Structure 1
Amino acid sequence: MKVGERLKSTASTTEVIVVKVGDTVSGPLLCAGAPMSAVGSGSGAPPASRGATAGDAGLVIGKRYSGAGVEVLCVTPGTGPLSVDGVDLELTAPRPLPSSD
């Protein structure tokens, strides 16, 4: 996993772009418990669509998720959760803009 890489889920429709990767990150990015793969690799077939269940966390387009030294930007929504090294990535709160006064 490297900065700028676009990854797609093999378990849902989720796609993300890697924004930050810490030096201590050793494992792959997982979505819904399955490793994500680089866009353009694999069979090219879209993942099987599955409905959200009560335990699924919906990933929102345009939102950043971070944790365990990794930050990603969701570019295609889907079900999750995202995790790295056994740590779930959490929705990052937007930073407030400075006042124009």
Structure 2
Amino acid sequence: MKPGTRLKSAACDTEVMVIRSADGQIECGGSPMGEARPTEPAPLAADFSAGTLMGKRYIDSEGKYELLCVKPGKGSLSVEGAALVVKDAKPLPASD
């Protein structure tokens, strides 16, 4: 998957833009994401229902995946069942 690809959740309204990715299935709400939203919504998994926040970047623990949320939803993001977390902002240098 190349950077700039927009993925849509099959389980909720979440949409993300791929910033960085590797080989693996990106999921939202426990269901695989795709470039087109399916006509029949998938069930939202209870383990992946924490929600997404618009404008936030989500990363995995190894830094192989980075996704930008462009439309929030009820499902949370994961890769192959491993949850993604919100990326922390870089601290600005202190000015004296």
- With the shorter chain as reference, the TM-score category is 0.7 to 0.9
Displacement of 1:58: 1.8
| Match of residue 28 from structure 2 | 31
The answer to whether structure 1 residue 13 and structure 2 residue 6 are counterparts is: no
Gap runs ≥5 in structure 1: none
Identity %: 46
| Aligned-pair CA distance for 1:95 | 1.1
The runs of 5 or more residues in structure 2 that have no matched partner are: none
Number of equivalences: 92
Conserved in 2, the CA contact under 8 Å of 1:64 and 1:74? yes
| 8 A Cα contact 1:31 1:80, kept in partner | yes
The alpha carbon displacement at 1:98 in A equals 3.2
Q: Could you tell me how far apart the structure 2 residues matched to 1:88 and 1:16 are?
A: 15
CA contact (8 A) 1:3 1:19 kept: yes
- Paired residue secondary structure (1:79): coil
Q: Which residue of 2 aligns with 1:97?
A: 92
Deviation at 1:26?
2.7
Deviant stretches of 4+, over 6 Å: none
Q: Is it true that 1:59 corresponds to 2:56 in the alignment? A: no
